[in-house]
Amino acid sequence: MAGLAIAPESIAFVAGIGCSGKIAGYLQSYAFHGAHGRALPVATGVKLANRALTVIAAGGDGDGYAIGAGHFVHTVRRNPDITYIVMDNQTYGLTKGNRRRRVPAVT
């Protein structure tokens, strides 16, 4: 954004749930950390409400292509002027999974 000279106050960044969704908290722009798989409908709404904003949605592949798959295809069909970043970290994360870890027995 700095390289493109887009001011932080003209950016609305919408993220889904997951490790990659936390990116919204690391930015200095407006940001919204919404529900799992729902970044795109929120981003579409933000853009409709204020077309002057640069609207960016981001999330994991699970957020976008699994639980959010329905919203993904409908957003493609509507083709709003937003940018969508999908980060594939090779895991369906934040499911708190290390199933091999044993809980120590209480004696």
Ligand X SMILES: Cc1ncc(C[n+]2csc(CCOP(=O)(O)OP(=O)(O)O)c2C)c(N)n1
Residues that bind ligand X (CB under 6 A): 17-20, 36, 59-63, 89, 91-95
Tell me how far apart the alpha carbons of residues 35 and 49 are, in angstroms, rounded to a whole number.
19
Tell me how far apart the alpha carbons of residues 15 and 48 are, in angstroms, rounded to a whole number.
17
Report the residue number whose CB is nearest to ligand X.
Answer: 60
Q: Which is nearer to ligand X, 20 or 44 (CB)?
A: 20
Q: Which is nearer to ligand X, 53 or 67 (CB)?
A: 67
**Closest separation between CB of residue 105 and ligand X, Å?**
28
**Closest separation between CB of residue 9 and ligand X, Å?**
27
Q: Which is nearer to ligand X, 30 or 92 (CB)?
A: 92
Query: Which two three-digit tokens encode residue 88?
Result: 């594939």
Q: Which is nearer to ligand X, 61 or 75 (CB)?
A: 61
**Closest separation between CB of residue 83 and ligand X, Å?**
17
Query: Which two three-digit tokens encode residue 81?
Result: 């002027």
**E strands along 1-107, which residues?**
11-15, 30-33, 54-60, 83-87
The answer to whether 14 and 56 are in contact (CB under 8 A) is yes
